[in-house]
Amino acid sequence: MAQISAAMVKELRSATGSGIMDCKRVLAEAEGDIEKAIDLLRKKGLAKAAKRAGRSTSEGIIYSYIHTGAKLGVLLEVNCESDFVAKTEDFQMFAKNIAMHIAAANPAGLNPEDVDPKVIEKEREIYRAQMLEEGKPENIIDKIVDGKVEKYYKEVCLLSQQYVKDPQQTISELLKTTIGKIGENIQIKRFARFQIGE
């Protein structure tokens, strides 16, 4: 059995923001391996998030982020279950991080349903033309195009985008981890990104 030092608990806490007892528990479970402990905490957070997914989110905040130079800005609505949580530093920081991500990654919408169908149709035409140009057989082109459209959705939909601060996780995973950490259901409701000249 590995010795769990206070320094190890502190390191895990600063890396994940989890509570002291949770950190001690997973460090013991991971036999002192910090990386393994982080994975365990993330999995536990995802499990907690799944349990909370159906709960009502009628509170929250509208967060505004203006990028340096004031030529780019984001307005974002993030909802939670209680006014108390909406005022916490963790919740506000989550909203800030999502707004900054939106400023940097310029998502087309939250989910595939939010992406303009005309844009998808145009992408399909481009992919189809590329496949024909490459001489792919007609009978498999549609499957290839469908695969490319799915990949396109992952790149342009906020929840499936890779988080710019940590490309190892998607925004959806970050959301679930935050739900596990905060202890309430959270929902990214809507956003608008404004850029001078667009």
**Tens of pLDDT, residues 84-106:** 999 999 999 999 999 999 999 99
Q: Where in the chain is the domain with CATH 1.10.286?
A: 116-155
* Higher-pLDDT residue of 171, 141: 171
Q: Residue 112 — φ and ψ, nearest 5°?
A: -55, -35
Task: Identify the CATH number of the domain defined by range 116-155.
Answer: 1.10.286
For 47, counting Cβ atoms within 10 Å of its Cβ (0-12 exposed, 13-18 middle, 19+ buried), the class is exposed
Task: Identify the CATH number of the domain defined by range 59-110+157-195.
Answer: 3.30.479.20
Domain 6-52 CATH (choose: 3.40.47.10, 3.90.950.20, 3.40.640.10, 1.10.8.10): 1.10.8.10
Q: CA-CA distance, 37 to 23, in Å (whole number)?
A: 8
pTM, full prediction = 0.68
**Mean pLDDT to the nearest integer, 8-25:** 74
- In the chain, the percentage of residues whose pLDDT exceeds 90 is 46
**Is residue 47 predicted with pLDDT exceeding 70?**
no
Q: CA-CA distance, 124 to 114, in Å (whole number)?
A: 17
Find all residues with CB under 8 Å of 53, minimum gap 6, and list them.
179, 185
- Check if the beta carbon of residue 144 is closer than 8 Å to that of residue 127: yes
